[in-house]
Every structure is written in structure tokens, then in C-alpha cells.
A = this chain, B = another copy of it.
Amino acid sequence: MNATPPLDRIRIVLSHPSHPGNIGAAARAMKTMGLARLYLVKPKTFPDPQAVAMATGADDVLAQARVCASLAEALAGTVAATALTGRRRELATEPSWARDAAADLVATTAAGEVALVFGNETAGLSNQELAQCKNWALIPTSAAYRSLNLAQAVQILCYELRLAAVDVGAPPKVNDGGTPASHEEVEALLSHLERAAVGSGFLDPARPKRLMPRLRRMFSRAGLEREEVAILRGMLSSWEK
């Protein structure tokens, strides 16, 4: 049991979803974040071509989805269930924000399987269903408009679950091109630049103001590469002629 990665122990439960398109979009959302265990409690229409269309490359998640007759059936075998709801209801505990709820759920996977439960698009979860959930999560939204699309709510939670469960590390580096310019190369460029600016009459050595320090700052932020220094110095030389 210990070898099962946390994300594999998380069930995404959609209770009474009305729109098959949302089921498909939710499956896709899950797959992008490494989740695969979709449970559908009395979906209005499923299977459905709209679900397949919205799932795009995640039809495997759809194909493996478990259709259940009740929430109790979907939760059987879990040790914790967190309900996602935008509405205020009387629940066992106070709500947590999505990020914290996701972290808690991932931590609980050490003890067994867990579930994240989403309700119907308009009605949400029934009181009876909410009563079966131990915890409650809220996604922070604008007070002016709280109505997240179901699949969007699934996407946000799956994103938070992934970040809680997996060490994503540093983003992949892609600029494998230039070699950084050395300290001497940069100083030589700056001297050259100053010489050229004086030579053209732009910079008055008697009144240098802060021109060179400003450009020095700018080049520092840029993090010059060797190739770039060579280009700039070549340009300067061409103007000095």
C-alpha cells in the first residue's frame, strides 16, 4: 500500500453531473494533473459523445470511470472525503481554502484512499451527501461572481492536488545557447561604450551625469552572453569609424 503514489489514491467524485461535456472536460483536467480515478454518481447522461469530445486525449480516464448509484457507493473504501461547495451549509467542520484542503487530502492518502466530491452544476451537493463528507473546501472567488464551471473547479483542485503531492522541481531550462560573458568582457564592453559615446560627442566627460551607471545597471539585469557582447562591440566599432 505504501508504494501507491498519493495521486493514485485520490478519487474525483462527480455527483449528479448534468452536462456530459463537463464530465469529459473534468477527465481531461484530471489527466493533465496525473489523476485517473473518476467516479460518477448518477450522471444524467453517460456515456455520451460530448464527454468524449471534451475529454480530448483523456478517453482512458472516461473509459475507467466508475458509475455509482449513490455517493455512499463512491465513497466505500475511503478514509476521508472532502466536499467542494460554493454554498454555505451546515457541515461538520469549517471550510478550508482549496490549497489547504488539497494538502490535507494528499497527507491523508498515507492512511488510505480519499475522495474529493463535486456536486451538480446548479444544485451542488444535497445535505445528505454533504453529511457524508468529513471536510469541506472552498475556492476563493470574486464576491461579484462566484459561479465556477464544474470542470474548472475540478481543474483548479487537481492542479492544487498535484502541487501538494508531487515535487515539481524547477521549471525546465531551455536556453541552452549562450555562454555568459565574463566579468572582463562586460567591463571591456562598457569601456568601449563609454569611449564611443564620448567620441561621438554624446557623452561629455566633464558632465557624465549618471549615463554609464544607468547603462551598467541595465546590462547587469540583462545578463549578457558572450555572443551578445561581440555583437554590441562590433556595432560600436562600426559607429566609431
Contact = CB atoms under 8 A, between A and B. Distances in A.
A58 B145 contact: yes
Interface stretch (A109-117, A154-162, A202-210, A211-219): A154-162
Interface residues of A, number: 46
A33 B148 CA distance: 9
A56 B142 contact: no
Contacts of A148: 28-29, 32, 155
A177 B139 contact: no
A180 interface: no
Would you call the interface of chain A mostly helix, strand, loop, or mixed?
Answer: loop
A90 B145 contact: no
Given A31-B142, A94-B174, 16 more contacts: A29-B148, A31-B145, A32-B146, A32-B148, A33-B141, A34-B142, A56-B147, A58-B145, A95-B171, A97-B171, A138-B171, A140-B159, A140-B168, A142-B162, A151-B152, A156-B156
Interface of A: 25, 28-29, 31-34, 56-58, 88-91, 93-97, 99, 138-142, 144-149, 151-152, 155-156, 159, 162-163, 166, 168, 171-175, 177
